[in-house]
Structure 1
Amino acid sequence: MSFSATEAAFEGFRVTRHHPMAVLAWALVSLVAVLGMAFIAMPILAPVADEFRGLLASGFTTEPSAAMSARFSYAAMATIPVSLVMQAILLPAIYRAMRQSGGDRFGFLRLGHDELRVFGAQVIVTLVSLLVSQGGEMLGTLAGGAGGAGLALLVEVVVMLASLYLSVRLVLVAPAAFAQGRIDLKAGWTATAGLFWPLIGMAIIAGFMAFVVMLLLGIVALPITVGMTGGAAGPAGLIAAGGLLIILSLALAMTTVILVAPFMVAYREARAPARA
């Protein structure tokens, strides 16, 4: 079966238009997640904080050091659990908003079995991605040692294509877990059969629109960022930091809706013949 990837890609905007107050509630959840990730990442990044401020002031005209790149990689890995929890809370809320025309006093947010199932589904998909990524790096290193740069490049390309294929085939696991009331990897996998390229096209369109939203909110936040890098201190600095966190949280919530909602549409369309 096929579906309109372009139409599905705009589902996030429809959810945002119909449930603006819910988006604000999701932004609050995003704010808590951002603070949690900052609490985890700051001690890891503290040793390279001066270098980062220098790069930020120079507009990133120079390459970061190896130590800084490593620290950011460690921080990204350490914050994955917080990101997964945030997704486990926000994704079911977005799915509920998609099937209801009216509002909800809690922004469709719950803490129950749906959230646990989505969390489990996201953990499984993330672990598969990490295993493929780490395994690919190891294979690339071994190939480079055995056959030189050419073989290493070939292995990296194969691993990249395999990662892309698995990502697309597993992208409907979370919607399936919510819709079916259980974690069913097979259902998520089979739902993508025949939809590989439409799903990629839909993801590209939704990703571009999310980028535009981030860009617009980044323009709004630019004066605040300039003020902070200019050394604003005291109450002014705190207000600037608070404003930047609020804009970042709103951007995170809006882009999450834009990127997540289309895949529930794809899952529903994929399962439509089974329901007929």
Structure 2
Amino acid sequence: MTVFSATDAAFEGFRLTWEKPKTLLIWTGFFLVVNLLMPLALFGLGLNTQMAALEEVSRNPSPDPDVAIESMAALAPVYAILLPAGLVVLAMIAAAVFRLVLDPEDSRVHPVQFGAEEARLIVLALAYTLLLLVAVVAAVLVGGTIAGVAATAGAGPFVGILTSCALMAGLVYIAVRMSLGPVITFSEGRIAVFDSWAMTRGLVWPILGAYILAVIAVAVFYLLSLVLVVALGALVSGGDLQSVGRMMDPEMDSLETFFSPGRVLMMLFGALMSAVFHAVMSAPAAVIYREIRQRRAEF
């Protein structure tokens, strides 16, 4: 018996943004404000140079663990701002998407807001982060033990590859089984850390299929949109692709160089892409939860 349509769940975010242009405009405005305020905060606190260093590290990560740790330690003030702000932003937009999927007749026109629902999502995200760290450490310990035993027996490389694949599959399985936790927490007004495990029993493959379809769809949408924007930027700049590149990766030397007209346009494009991306990635879990709940109510 089909509990939900993986295709419908995967494309729900696109349907919402197409049928609710006013909501898409609100979400785009929210991300535009975030895109404008975050650089202002970093410049105001004198962390613009650290932000530039963070972008350089993300583009060219060092293979040396010691260097990587030193870089992260030096960038701690930037992380101290970006990580909490990111959690708040993600909780607010996820709650807005959940609200739209679960209560489409909501008279508030689905504003992005911060309240108890969003706060619970942040607490759940922190709990999930701790559980992820425990799972990763356990996987590394198990993998290392198996690899050591296999190396002693002379079958190290082959067993190591199989073990890595098995552990990765296990982590994906756990992630899928726990993936409805945020929408359960939002809908039921309590921090539901493990409730998703029971709700997703026997539905791992269709749920995983919905998530994979959503990722592929949003990736294609983003790439096509980016090609269009680059083409328009090249047309406006007379074919100067370097100027288009500077709009996408501006200098962090001063507010004037950062907030160039071209950069502001790119921020607007990024805000629109962020609104669509989060709608597409958050909606499937809400649809799946809604359909499972309705099916259970029928029986």
Look up the SS of the partner of 1:251 in the other structure.
helix
> What is the CA deviation profile of residues 50-106 of structure 1, one whole-angstrom value per residue up to 9, with x for unaligned ones?
x98xx8xxxxxxx865369948x947994444332212101111122222247746x
The 1:70/1:33 distance shift into structure 2, 3 A limit, reads farther
> Partner amino acid for 1:227?
S
Displacement of 1:184 after TM fit? Answer: 1.9
Look up the SS of the partner of 1:212 in the other structure.
helix
The 1:203/1:245 distance shift into structure 2, 3 A limit, reads same
> What is the CA deviation profile of residues 193-238 of structure 1, one whole-angstrom value per residue up to 9, with x for unaligned ones?
1110000111111111111221122123323774243699977971
1:164 aligns with 2:172: yes
Q: 1:100 matched to which residue of 2? A: 104
CA contact (8 A) 2:30 2:112 kept: no
Look up the SS of the partner of 2:167 in the other structure.
helix
CA contact (8 A) 1:169 1:196 kept: yes
1:121 aligns with 2:111: no
The 1:205/1:48 distance shift into structure 2, 3 A limit, reads closer
Q: 1:83 matched to which residue of 2? A: 86
The 1:273/1:103 distance shift into structure 2, 3 A limit, reads closer
Q: 1:15 matched to which residue of 2? A: 16
Residues 116-125 or 76-85, more deviating: 76-85
Measured in 2, the distance between the counterparts of 1:12 and 1:65 equals 37
Q: 2:283 matched to which residue of 1? A: 261
Measured in 1, the distance between the counterparts of 2:219 and 2:193 equals 30
CA contact (8 A) 1:94 1:108 kept: no
CA contact (8 A) 2:178 2:194 kept: no
Measured in 2, the distance between the counterparts of 1:48 and 1:100 equals 39
Q: 2:219 matched to which residue of 1? A: 211
Look up the SS of the partner of 1:193 in the other structure.
coil
Displacement of 1:23 after TM fit? Answer: 1.8
RMSD: 3.6
Q: Which has the larger radius of gyration?
A: 2
Question: Size of the alignment, in residue pairs?
Answer: 264
From 234, 241, 246, give the equivalent of 2:268. 246
> What is the CA deviation profile of residues 97-155 of structure 1, one whole-angstrom value per residue up to 9, with x for unaligned ones?
222247746x4222111111122222222332233234434554565566445244343
The 1:139/1:30 distance shift into structure 2, 3 A limit, reads farther
Q: Unaligned regions of 5+ residues in structure 1, if any? A: 56-62
The 1:142/1:97 distance shift into structure 2, 3 A limit, reads same
CA contact (8 A) 2:185 2:191 kept: yes
Q: 2:50 matched to which residue of 1? A: 43
Q: Normalized against structure 2, the TM-score is what?
A: 0.73
Look up the SS of the partner of 1:109 in the other structure.
coil
Displacement of 1:178 after TM fit? Answer: 1.0
Query: Sequence identity of aligned pairs in percent?
Result: 27
Q: Unaligned regions of 5+ residues in structure 2, if any? A: 235-240
